[in-house]
Structure formats: structure tokens, C-alpha cells
Amino acid sequence: MNSRILTLTLLIFFILGFGYTAKAQRSIKKSLADVTMQQADNPKLVVGIVVDQMRYDYLTRFWDDYGDGGFKRMVNEGFNCKNNHFSYAPTYTGPGHASVYSGTTPAMHGIISNSWYDKNTKKPVYCTGDENVKSVGSQGAEGQMSPHRMNVTTVTDQLRLHTQNNGKVISVALKDRGAVLPGGHMANAAYWFHGSSAGDWISSSFYMDKLPDWVLQYNSSDAIEKYKKPWNTFKNIGGYQESGPDNTSYESPFNGEAAPVFPHDVPAIWEANGSFELLKVTPYGNSITTDFALAAVVAEGLGKDQNTDFLAISYSSTDYIGHKFGANSKEVQDTYLWLDSDLERLFDALDQEVGAGQYTVFLTADHGAVHVPAYLADNNVPAGYVSSAVIRGELIKFLQFKYGNTALLENISNNQIFLDRDAIANLGIELEDIQQAIAQEIISYPSVFRVYTASQMMRNAYVEGMPKILQNGFHQKRSGDVLFMFDPANISYPKTGSTHGSPLTYDTHVPLLFFGKGIRKGDTNERTRIADIAPTVSALLGISFPSGATGNPITSVLE
């Protein structure tokens, strides 16, 4: 009897154990299948595009002149975030690229401007400058760059970490900061353009000891020299009704030109404008960037295996041209038509190299731009110019009168005032008191619109409006003692060309387009933020968000 019970018991355990094992095996197989499916569903390549100084209305103003394969393809096949903004100031190139790729603001990532006054060394520092690395591909200091001043990871870093460094990251831009910051701390390579008499793509020892053979071959070819040709309009200039006259006082001509008008004879004014540097201030700079980015896709085999790769492209010529000719110029309109053609060429090549529907693209900008204030004023719009030298002079007189010591002022830059903390302590003055006194003084100056102290920024948690935008750009260790902003459309800048940097909508409202694998078709007028881009891409790829991310995935974008 006992043997029967024992046998029956063993049989039951055998059956249950077999069933459990089979269930466990099925569960394991399902998990593996899910992982495989997720990998298969990920895009082979993500392409991040930042257009330097692109106002949102460049997408809509020039719409009828665009072709079907560039901007229109992204809008028609992808998702358009129509109300996309920067949520901090100052709105410059360095902070813009860092924010796009880190999913946060300067308050967290630390890139508070292109250059800023370092309170420890008492000297200006450049956002990507690094004396501890060497130039690769040039003999000068133009390659001494790295992302060491950016305190957080980027979405590109997170991709590298997630794939055990198997997913490649390549970053390309004419500007060093437009390549270094998007590439993050772990990029396989970041390349930028060294103009002058060289006309080469270079890098830094932060990434490599020497340029790869394909880059050396590219630099030794005529791929760049072929753009030494006149800048003629992409279409008949008579059809450019979305911009002002060709010759206005709001633009500045190139050296050697009698007037800022088409065609611009690049070969004739070559030497007078820095040789290869001149190409940056033409649409050809964007074409050169596209050429090199596509060469990188082929040479590096991007999008060719099961690990997602990342290509970061920044188009810098739009910024150079905007600064020189202004937001309402024929040159800006023409530049965007050329860029649209370059985007079409880029997407067509990716269709062939990676596969149509196998890659994902986002396109945004690092900041917008103000219309030339002189042009606005001539059209009865409040606008004007501010002299930084006058502000400094008035502030020095105030410090001498009130405290008898002008050495209290160390620096004024990026609309921030830096004070000498040691000198303040020696005079027995409370830091917060002198900050407040200076704030009360400069708010009385013409064209100064808002003023806040560092103490206010550190004490309060602003939730909306200009204070919140300024606070998002305020870094406790790196920012100044007093922050100020000018009246709308008032700038400290020459009277020709457009600039940027303010917390106002002409500088914060920029495009955000997604298209490709994993992206819905549609659009939204809901407000989105630059800091949402990296979390959205991270969610698409199933990877961790960047370490300092404060944005959120835009769920309406994702399938």
C-alpha cells in the first residue's frame, strides 16, 4: 500500500514538474522573443538634425517654395509639434545643442552659454574648449574641444551604454560645439569644419588619436573645393515674395562687395573673407555638411546591424547667414530652399543605404532669431539697440558713488553681472544686499525690462513666466549675481543682421519634426519643450533617459 502511494506521489510530482518546466521554458522563450522583437522593431539608425537659428515660421513662410522630399516629407509623413519652445534663456548655440540631447536645461547640464565668465579662474571659458586634449587633423588649437563641461549624459551616451558600446554615434557640424555636445561623452567620433586656408574636417584626441583613413581621403579630395563657386539663388529671385528687397540697409555685404545682393561672387571675394571660412556663410556650408554626413554613413556602416546607431547633424550655415543678413532677407529664404534640397538628398540616400522606413529622424533648432530691430522700428514695431558699454559705465559710476569701490564688478556677460565676492566680504557688505541694490539700479536704465538676483533664483521655485525661464538657465555655480533682460526686440548688436539669446518667443519658438520608424503621422498645437526630445527618443528606443533629463516623452509622437 505504501509503495503504491509512493509511486503515485512520485508520478504526480513528475507530471507537475514536467508541466512547470515546460511553462518556464515557454516563458523564457517568450521573453527572448519579446527582446528580439523589440530589437527588430527599433530603427536601425536615428538621425538627429539641429538647424542653427531656425525660427518656426521659416517652416511656414517658405512652405510653398519647398520641394516634396525635405521639410514637406517630414511634415506629411511624420509628426509636427507646432508649439515647440525653449524653456530657458539665454538661447544660444551651445546651450541649445546641449539641451536637445540631454533632455534638460542649463540649470542642470551646465552649458549656460557659448562662453561664460568662470568665477573660479576669473577668466572666460568656452563651452567645449579643453586644453587637456589635442587637435586631430590640424596643427592649431581649433581641435582642442571636448564635452567635459557638460555635467550630464545625452541620449547618445545612453544609446552607447545600453548597447554595450556596440551602437555607433557619429556627430557632424561646421561648428565645434554643434558636433561635440550632441555626440555626448561617449561618441565614436565628432567632426567639425576647420575653414581658413585649410578647408578640412577635424576632430580631437578626446575621440581618436588620428583621423580615420576615410576622413583623410575625404579631406584630400575636391569634395569641398568644388563649392568655391558663385552663390546664385536656388530659384528665380523674382519669386521670393516671402522676404524683403534684396538690397536693404538691414544687411551687411561681404568684404569686397559693393552691396549685399545676389549673386554673391564667392571666388572673387574668397581671400577677403577668410577663404574656406566664407563657405560657412553660404548655403554651401550646409551642403558640405550633408556630403560629409553621408560619407560617414557609408564609411562607418551606420544602420547595418541589429544595434541602433545614431547620426547627429547640425546645420550651422543658417546661423552665420541669419547673423549677417537678417531674418527677412532674400539670403535667408534662399538658404532654406537650398537646405530643403539637402534634406531631400539626405533622406533619399538613407532610403538606399539604411532602408526606407528603417530609420527615424527628428529635426529642431538650437534657437530662433529676432527680426532686425531697425527693420521693425521702420515698420512702427517697438524695437531698438542697447549699448553694453553704456550699461557698464553707468554701473561703475553707481558702485563708485554707493560703495566707493568699482572693483566690486568683475564681469558683465550674457546679460549677467558677476561680482567680486572677496571684495564684498572685505567691505563687510551682505552679498544679497548688494545684489538687490544693483538690481534696483539697472532696472532704471533705458531698455532694461526685467532684473533678478542670484539670491532670488536660489531661494524661489518659480513655476511660470519669465522668472521660470531665467531660472531654468541659471546654474548655481556658474551663473552671475544679477540677471537682466532687455525690452522686447532690443538687442546689444550691430544694426545689420539678426541675433538671439532672449527668453522671448521669437528666440524660443522653433520647429520640432519627427518622421520615420516608430513615428505617428499627425501634428499638435499642445506646447512641447526642447527638453522633451531626448526622452521621446529614449522611449522610442527603450533605453534609459539621460541622467539629468527633466523633460517627458511626447506620447502623441510615438506609435
Residues that are catalytic:
93
What are the angstrom distances between the C-alpha of 411 and each of 347, 443, 513? Answer: 46, 18, 39
First to last CA, the chain: 64
User: Which cell goes with 301?
Assistant: 556602416
- Identify the sign of the CA torsion 399, 405, 408, 413: positive
- Report how far residue 314's alpha carbon sits from residue 271's, in angstroms, rounded to the nearest whole number: 26
For the chain, how are helix, strand and coil distributed in percent, rounded to 5? 40, 20, 40
Nearest Cα neighbor of 119 from 476, 395, 436, 392 is 476
- Report how far residue 165's alpha carbon sits from residue 158's, in angstroms, rounded to the nearest whole number: 10
Going by their DSSP bridges, the two strands 512-516 and 384-385 should be labelled as unpaired
b/e sequence 58-83, b meaning 16+ C-beta within 10 Å: bbebbeebbeebbbbbbbebbbbbbe
Q: How many residues does the chain have?
A: 559
Burial zone of 284 (CB within 10 Å; 0-12 exposed, 13-18 middle, 19+ buried): buried
Contact 166, 307 (CB under 8 A): yes
DSSP label at residue 496: S
- Identify the sign of the CA torsion 411, 417, 422, 428: positive
What are the angstrom distances between the C-alpha of 403 and each of 47, 211, 428, 433? Answer: 55, 56, 11, 12
What are the angstrom distances between the C-alpha of 94 and each of 26, 84, 100, 209, 501? Answer: 51, 19, 10, 25, 11
Contact 154, 135 (CB under 8 A): no
What's the distance, CA 68 to chain centroid? 25
For 65, residues 6+ apart whose C-beta sits below 8 A from its C-beta are 235, 239, 240, 242, 333, 337
Type of residue found at 217: Q
User: Which cell goes with 297?
Assistant: 554613413
- Report how far residue 351's alpha carbon sits from residue 405's, in angstroms, rounded to the nearest whole number: 65
